[in-house]
Amino acid sequence: MAKVVITNRIPREGVEMLEAEHDVTMWDSEDCISREKCLHMITGADAILTLLTEKVDDEFLDAAGDQLKVVANVAVGFNNIDVAACEKHGVVATNTPKVLTETTADTAFGLMLMVTRRFGEGERVIRSKTPWQWGMFYMLGMGLQGKTIGIVGAGQIGIAMARRAKAFGMDVVYTDAREMDPAVAKEPAARRVDMDELLATADVVSLHCPLIPEGQEGSTFHLIDADALEKMKKTAYVVNSARGPIIDEAALVEALENGEIAGAGLDVFENEPAVHEGLLERDDVVLLPHLGSATVETRTAMAELAARNALAVLAGRSPETPVTK
């Protein structure tokens, strides 16, 4: 029996799969475990299941010990994991792609609808008991049909967002190192463009790329900075369901204040869970508390996939979804 540690509460289905074969200890709380307690708890573990709130670096891997074989992240994003450090320690790192694609694209699409049609603002009017009346020009938003969405990062979630956008009559442009799957890119055509063209033409810029830290090749840290925001149309919106630090939040607040763009829909934040004060009072911004993959079905599927990955490595097999740099 191997020692498996889970650093935060995850759905029972995943835990039970691990318990059927191994000795499992879970930090059974929805509050994040402190670093100190975490480093203590993982000591001697053969497999560790982590959430995106857990920083997996040299300190973490050293604390676990040389017997550690696998870190299975219960998230598709793995910017919390130092993959090079894992390789150095001979530890396999895995993530949970595919199972959360549609749910996260739903969140991104919901944000886009909410901000362009001013649904968040409208809801606040009712809840705050602000007087209102139907009016021909009352709270008009931007319709999506015939507009252009600019998808930054045409991986699985970007493609799922493109599919939704097409169904709503939008034109799709995208940036990615690779061409989009031809089956998705045709009818109506999704056009691959460079970032400058995307920023200049999109009515909604939707972010679906991974967060690649500053200083690393292909870094996406502050990809949407003051310069990028200035290149966008004054009538355009930015939607972020990927990772907060892809947007320079201070620059975003300034761009909104100066009317350089029309609004933003954000599910993720630069210093999560803190949110830039300048965003909180703005009606042209929709804010969600990182709900991208938050459905019962998806979180269960994520826990099960992470469990399968850990079990595979412990049994000497290849995991289904190792992280790839």
CA gap 288, 46 in Å, rounded: 36
Q: Please, which residue, 211 or 262, has the CB nearer to ligand DGY? A: 211
- How is residue 2 written in tokens? 């191997």
Among 117, 191, 282, 290, the active-site one is 290
CB of 104 to ligand DGY, least distance (A): 7
109-122 burial code (b ≥16 CB/10 A, e <16): bbbbbbbbbbebbb
CB of 119 to ligand DGY, least distance (A): 22
Geometric angle at alpha carbon 58, from 52 and 62, rounded to 5°: 110
146-to-37, 153, 171 alpha-carbon distances in Å = 53, 21, 7
Strand order, beta sheet including 204-207: 190-192, 171-175, 148-152, 204-207, 237-240, 263-266, 285-287
State the binding string over 18-57 for ligand DGY (x if CB under 6 A, else -): ----------------------------------x-----
CA gap 273, 255 in Å, rounded: 22
Is 270 marked active-site? no
Strand order, beta sheet including 70-73: 23-26, 3-6, 47-50, 70-73, 92-94
Among 197, 254, 272, 320, the active-site one is 272
Among 153, 292, 308, 312, binds ligand DGY (CB under 6 A): 292
CB of 93 to ligand DGY, least distance (A): 14
CB of 111 to ligand DGY, least distance (A): 14
CB of 15 to ligand DGY, least distance (A): 18
Nearest to 108 by CA among 285, 275, 239, 238: 239
Q: Please, which residue, 158 or 292, has the CB nearer to ligand DGY? A: 292
Among 156, 220, 240, 293, binds ligand DGY (CB under 6 A): 293
Nearest to 57 by CA among 208, 268, 210, 213: 213
State the binding string over 67-106 for ligand DGY (x if CB under 6 A, else -): --------xxx----------------------x------
Q: Please, which residue, 112 or 170, has the CB nearer to ligand DGY? A: 112
Is 127 marked active-site? no
Q: What is the DSSP string of 123-161?
A: HHHHHTT------TTTT-----TT-EEEEE--SHHHHHH
Instruction: Judge whether 71 and 46 are in contact, CB under 8 Å.
Output: no
Q: Please, which residue, 52 or 202, has the CB nearer to ligand DGY? A: 52
Interaction between residue 206 and ligand DGY (CB under 6 A): no
Is 243 marked active-site? yes
Interaction between residue 306 and ligand DGY (CB under 6 A): no
Which residues here bind ligand DGY, judged by CB under 6 A?
52, 75-77, 100, 292-293
Residues with catalytic function: 243, 272, 290
